[in-house]
Each structure stands twice: as structure tokens, then as C-alpha cells.
Chain A
Amino acid sequence: MSVNIVIIDYGMGNLRSVQKAFEKVGFSAIITRDFLQIQKASHIVLPGVGAFGDAMTNLNNLGLVELLNTQVLEYKKPFLGICLGMQLLAKKGYEFGEHDGLGWIDANVVRFKDDNLKIPHVGWNNVDFHNPSVLFQGIPDHSDFYFVHSYYFDAPSTYAIGYCNYGVKFVCAIQKENIFATQFHPEKSQIHGLKIIENFANFTKETQC
């Protein structure tokens, strides 16, 4: 099956950076919010920077929540959430009030609590691999990736594939079957980040079984 990657355009952030990361590793990717394009896609990417509530509002208003549920949960298309795109997979987000997320993963998105920490958590931090995942294939454990966020994914270890430490040890990468997500920005994390992008693009429903 040919690879047909779509990057969901829902008005939240650095879509072009993600697109050119795919191009850099030899794949093309379309930035779109068009239902037909998304239905035709083999791989779906949900990037995003900004606030949790706004993002869910946009997804709802564009009718994308139901579409994503069908494409990812039902048809099991490979999915990659990046940064806010990972956080939205949680049941609840607590940024500027309480908001419902997509609820694909049993998690809450909460603010870093430690008063001595500088917020946002910005810069390069090492990711400690947890359960083995194709997403990290060819990447050394404890490699540094670029983070920038003020809220984190508070989740049990069930689907964790990577942890990061910033005052608290938190889940920074997950895989649940066809669903992948990273709190850090692979598209901004130089060679190791680009390797993640490549691994995701090479992941198919066949390789997953």
C-alpha cells in the first residue's frame, strides 16, 4: 500500500515544520482539514501548539473529532500526535479550566506543580525508553529531544514507551497499537527526531501484527 500522509490542519501551530520533516526523510505529506483527503490517508499526523481548550474547540467545530475516531480507532490507521497533539489524546485537560480531550488514552493533562521549576519546560531533555516500540527503532536510549510545554501527560505506564524527567517523571511518548504520540517535537529534534518521523512513516498496519 502506498504511503499517503496527512497532517491535520486545525488552526494550531507549526504544520509546515512537520511537513518538511517528512520531506527530509523522503516522504511527502499533505496539510489538510478536508474530510476526503483524511479519509484517503494511510497515515494521520496531529501536530499542534497552543492551548488544550482552543484545540478541542477547533477539532469539534471542524467536525474532525468524529472523523478521527473513525479513521484511527476503527480503521486503525497509523496516527502520530505531537506535543499538544499528544495531550489531546487524554480524557481531560486542565489548561485554563477543565476540558474533555479525545479520550483515547487514560490520562489527564496537568500543569507542572513544582514551584522551583521554570515553566515552560523548554529545551533538550533525555527520553528514557520504557516498552520497546518501532517508533524508537535505530535511536539510542536516553537520546535528547526538544521539548516546549507547560502541561504534561499524567498517565499510567500501560502505553508508555518513553519517560522524561522535569521535576516529575512523566510519560513523554506512547504507543497504543496504531496510535503513537510524543510530547517532544521530533520535527525539531535533529537526526533522532527525523528518525522518529521516518519510523512512523514506515509503520504500516501489516508491520504492527
Chain B
Amino acid sequence: MLKHRLIPCVLLKDWQLVKSVQFGSFRTIGHPTATVRVYNARNVDELIVLDIDASLKGEPINTEIITDMANECFMPLTIGGGIKTIEDVYAVLGAGADKISINSQAIKNPYFIKEIATIFGSQCIVCSIDIKKIDGQYRVFNKKEGLLDIDPLTLAKEYERQGAGEILLTSVDLEGTTLGYDIELLKLFTDSLHIPIIINGGMGVPHHGIEALQNGADALAAAYIFHFTQYTPQMIKEELKKSNYPVRVS
């Protein structure tokens, strides 16, 4: 049986891995290779690293760090941030990433997804959508440009049509708060999409993960809980397993 994945999702900033709260107030969690080595030793299911220097400041993609991290990683590694061209995809996958995460460039040009899929296959494309709730309505949020007048579900459906492999769904409002995932948002997506959904933003206790799985999430992404609470990935998965959700426990 296919297992639900629990995926640490961390940010790369100034050559450090950091954790944000609602996309701001960054806290350093450690050196990239050392942190990845710990995650590998803890036998996590997968790892997502988003390079916010590349996405936010437009700095070139740091393939040197990606290579160093990939060398420590014997589980799937997804890298995102600043990927704008097919050459960027080559560079990131060539540095040892297994999948790429794209965000801004896909909003500008969803056809970019199809271009990548044709060459590298859908399985390596994670489309990341950041979402904020304003006056009861969900809207796409962009780190650089702020709130956009785009309906996130319409955008996700277009991504699926273009050949996205997975959707990484992040609630900006709940990110780093430990208040739990945005279940209403999740349900909106799981009811309408046929590709796997990784929910992100807000996990503070294992029960939040159970809620998300109950409501159709395929995989759970988190960061705060691993670094600033007592819970390890293994402990969270033990809890999920107790509630009869298939997970990989070692």
C-alpha cells in the first residue's frame, strides 16, 4: 500500500537553512549539509528545500549547495527557488535534485510546466502554490509581488492540465504558526485534482497531520514541528500509524 509521506520543507537563505513564520521572521535551523545529513540519518521520506535568495532576490541558483546537500541525501530531494528556464531545470537536476519545485515562473507561464514535462517527465515537477485568505476568499500569493488576483484552484487545475506531477499547497496565513493545516483549503483542492497534493503550513502537533490525511492530503510537509517542538518525524508517523494511516516507519 502506498504510504503517506511526511516531508520536511525548509528554506535556504544566506547559505543557511531557515524556517519562517508567515513568510517572514526567519530563524536559522542550521548549516545545509549538516541539516540534510541529520534528516537522512532520521530516515525521512523525502526533503524539500526552497532557495529564497534565488526566488526573492533573483540571485542565481546555488548549484554548489544543491550538490552538497544531494550528496547527503539517499531519499528524494526536491529543490525550488528561482527556476525560470529549461537550463535552470537542467542545472538543478544535474546538481543531484530528483524533483524541482516551481512557483513564480509557472504563474507567469503555465506552459513552462509542459515544456519541463516533455523533457524530464511530470514526475519531477512539483508546482508550489502559496495562498492567502482575504475577506473569506483564497488568493494566490507571490513572495515578490504580494497578493495576486488569481483563484488558486483554477491555477492548480491549469497546472495539472499542463503536466504537473504534484502540488505543494502552502497556506501563508498558517505557515510557521503551529495552528494546524488549512483544512478548508485542502478539501477544496483534494475534491478537484487528480495529482498528489502535499499540504504545507501550520503543523504543530501530530493530530494536525491526522486531520489533513482525513481530508484527502496525500503527503504532509512541515518544518517548525521538527525544529522547535519535541516531535521527530518518526514520532509523528507513529501517531499517524496509530490512527490507521499507512506510513513508513522504520
Q: Give A contacts to B, CB under 8 Å.
A: 13-14, 16-17, 20-21, 24, 49-51, 54, 118-126, 144, 146-150, 165-166, 185, 187-191, 193-194
Contact = CB atoms under 8 A, between A and B. Distances in A.
A13 B120 contact: yes
Contact of A16 (B96, B119, B250): B96
A184 B219 CA distance: 18
Given A49-B124, A146-B76, A188-B98, A119 B195 contact: yes
Given A16-B94, A17-B96, A17-B98, A122 B123 contact: yes
Contacts of A165: 1
Contacts, number: 91
A125 B45 contact: no
Interface of B: 1-5, 40, 43, 45-46, 70-71, 74-76, 93-96, 98, 118-124, 165-166, 194-196, 218-219, 248, 250
A119 B74 contact: no
Nearest to A16: B96
Contacts of A123: 2-5, 45, 196, 218-219
B194 A119 contact: yes
Given A13-B120, A49-B123, A190 B74 contact: yes
B45 A120 contact: no
A146 B75 contact: yes
A14 B75 CA distance: 13
- Pairs of residues from A and B, 5 with the lowest C-beta to C-beta distance, nearest first: A148-B123, A124-B3, A124-B248, A50-B121, A144-B248
Contacts of A120: 122-123, 165, 195-196
